[in-house]
Amino acid sequence: MEARAIFETLKEKFGDAVVELQGEGFTPPFVVVAPGSVRDIARFLKEDPALSFDSLMSLSGVDYKDRFAVAYHLYSMKHRHAVGMKAMLPRESPSLPSVDDVWPAANFQEREAYDLFGFVFEGSKDLRRILLPEDWEGHPLRKDYKYAEFYHGIKI
Amino acid sequence: MTGMTARGEALRTQEMTINMGPQHPSTHGVLRVILTTDGEVVTRAVPDVGYLHRGLEKIGERVTYAQFMPFTDRLDYLAAMNCNCAWAWAVEKLAKIEVPERAEFLRVIVAELNRISSHLIAFGSFTADMGAFTPFLYAIRERERVNDLFEMICGNRLTYNYARIGGVSGDAPPGFLEKTKEFLDYFEPKIDEYNNLISYNKIFVHRLANVAVIPAEEAVAYGMTGPNLRGSGVPFDLRRDEPYSVYPKFDFKVCVGTGERGKLGDCFDRYMVRINEMRESVKIVRQALAQIPEGPVMAKVPRVFKPPAGETYFRSECPRGETGIYVVSDGSANPFRLKIRTGSFVTMNIFEKVTKGLMIADIVAVIGSFDIILPEIDR
C-alpha cells in the first residue's frame, strides 16, 4: 500500500491522533502521530490484514532542537511495503507509550533511546540504560549535551 | 532442582548468579552475560552490552559525510567492506547520486568476498567454541587469501575504507579480477571439505540440533535479520527482496534453514545457512566478474558535499543481518542525525528468551550460532 493510502486509512480510524504525512524528501514517508496514541496505532498497523506491519526495522530517537521525535521504520513481510511512523515529543518531559508488546524487537532500541536521549517509554517491560553505565549523567545524543570532564575521578 | 545423596536424602541446591564475560573467549568480544544457574541449567541469562560503546552516532554528527566513511570500518570489522558500502549507498540514496556501473560491480565483488571471509570466521570460531579447533585454522587459511585480494585493491587488510560517496576509492589494479577468479576456483571445493570435516560430525550435530529453536513468526517479531532469520526458514534476503546496487543482475539462491538435523530454526540451521551462503556468494562474484563493464569508478561529487534536507532510511544485507542507516539531513555538510541499526544489536533482544532452560554449554552454542560481533552491537 502507498504511504498516502496508509495515512488516509489511519486518519479515518484515529482522527486527530494522526497529525500529518511527511512525504516530500522523506524515504520512506512518515505518518506523524500524537505520542499518546502510539501504542494503539502500532497495534492497528500490525494487526489490520491490509497493513500487517509485522516487522519493526528500526526505532530511533531524534533531537530536532525545538522538540524531540521517535521515528519508527516499519515493514510488512507479507505485503512487502514500508512506512515510517513518527511521534513528536516536547523537550520537557518526553514520554510516550512503549510498543514492545506489539513488536518485541522494540525493547533494546527503546532502551537505547532512553539511554542516549532520555525518552521514557511508559509500560516498557524493561527500561534501563543499555550502552552507557547505569550511573552516567545526561543523555549524549541530545543536541544540548554538555560533555562531562570526569567520570568517577577519571579524566575523559 | 533436587537430586539424591548416596544415603537417599534430598540434595538441596541453590541458584547461583555468575558472570560469563566480559572477558570470555566464547563471547566473541566483550559481551557480558549474567547467568542465573540452577546446577548446570540456566534459569536466566541477561546480556549486558555496551563495553565497546564509542558513540559513533554522535561522532557522525560532528564529521562530514565523507569523513564518516572510515568510522564505518569500525562498525563490523569482520565485514568492513559491507559497512563501507552500506554507508555509501545510504548517502547516495539521500542525495540521489548516480554511481558509475563499474563502481557498483566492484562494490558487489568486494562485499561478497567480504561476506565469504566473514562467514569463514563465523564458521571457524563457532566450531572452535564447540571444541573443534582445526576447522578454525582452515577458515583462517582461506580468509588470508581474501585479505590479500583486499590489500591489492585498497591497501588495507582489515579496515578497508574502500567505498566513497559516489563510487570507490580506486579501480581494480591489473590482475585483481584474474586473482579473484583464481581464489573462487580454489575456494569453492573447500566448502565441501568443511562439510566433510565437521558439519556432519556426530558430536557437532548433537551440540547444535534442537538447541535454541526459534520459530519463524518469533524471529520476525523479534527483528532478527540476515542468516539468523533465514535459519528459521523465512526466505527473506534484501539483496533479492529489496534490491539495491546491481544485485538484480545476478542469479542466486536465498538459503534458508530446512530443519535437516532437528527442529526448524535451531542452531544447526543457522550454522548451515552460512555455509550455503558462501556458495551463493561465490556464484554472485563469478557473475559479476563476467559482466563487469569498463568505465569510470567515481561519480562527479562536489568537494564540499551538501545533500538536500530530508530523511532517508536505507538497509542493506550485511553478513550479520540488516544494517539500516537512518540519516537526517538539514542541508549542511554534516549529518544532522545518524542512526545505525545493526543486525547483531537487535538479535541480542531475543537472547534472554531463547536461552531460558538451556545448559551452560549451550549458551556458547547460541552465541556462536547468532554470529554476533560486539563493535556492531555497541557502536
Write the CATH number for A52.
3.30.460.80
Residue A140 is nearest to which of B55, B308, B313, comparing CB atoms? Answer: B55
Over chain B, what is the mean pLDDT? 89
B365-368 contact pairs (CB < 8 A, 24+): B365/B129, B365/B130, B365/B207, B365/B208, B365/B211, B365/B212, B365/B267, B366/B211, B366/B212, B366/B267, B367/B26, B367/B27, B367/B28, B367/B31, B367/B129, B368/B26, B368/B28, B368/B122, B368/B125, B368/B126, B368/B129, B368/B130, B368/B267
CATH number at residue B206: 1.10.645.10
Residues of A in contact with B223 (CB under 8 A): 55-57, 103-105
For an interface test with B, which of A73, A130, A146 has the most B Cβ atoms less than 10 Å from its Cβ? Answer: A130
Q: Which pLDDT belongs to residue B379?
A: 84
Q: Which residue has the cell 580454489?
A: B186
Q: How confident is the model at residue B261 (pLDDT cuts 50, 70, 90)?
A: confident
Any domain includes B39: no
Per-residue pLDDT of B116-157, as tens digits, reads 999 999 999 999 988 888 999 999 999 999 999 999 999 888
Any domain includes B376: no
Any domain includes B27: no
In degrees and rounded to multiples of 5, residue B369 shows phi and psi of: -75, -25
Per-residue pLDDT of B193-233, as tens digits, reads 999 988 888 889 998 988 889 999 899 999 899 999 999 99
Q: Does the interface ipTM go beyond 0.90?
A: no
Any domain includes B28: no
Per-residue pLDDT of B153-167, as tens digits, reads 998 888 899 999 989
Residue A139's domain comprises 3-155
pLDDT of B6 above 60: yes
Any domain includes B76: yes
Residues of B in contact with A55 (CB under 8 A): 220, 223
Domain count, chain A: 1
Any domain includes B15: no
Q: Which pLDDT belongs to residue B12?
A: 65
**Length in residues, chain A:** 156
For an interface test with B, which of A22, A52, A55, A102 has the most B Cβ atoms less than 10 Å from its Cβ? Answer: A55
Mean pLDDT of B316-327: 92
Q: Which pLDDT belongs to residue A78?
A: 87
Residue B220 is nearest to which of A30, A54, A140, comparing CB atoms? Answer: A54
Q: Side chain identity at B196, as an amino acid letter?
A: N
End-to-end CA distance of chain B: 40
**Length in residues, chain B:** 379
**Grid coordinates belonging to A135:** 550511573
Question: Which residue, among B40, B9, B8, B7, has the nearest Cα to B363 in the 3D structure?
Answer: B40
Mean pLDDT of B56-61: 91
Domain count, chain B: 1
Whether residue B308 has a cis bond before it, omega within 30° of 0: no
pLDDT of B48 above 80: yes
Smallest Cα distance from A63 to chain B, Å: 8
Any domain includes B5: no
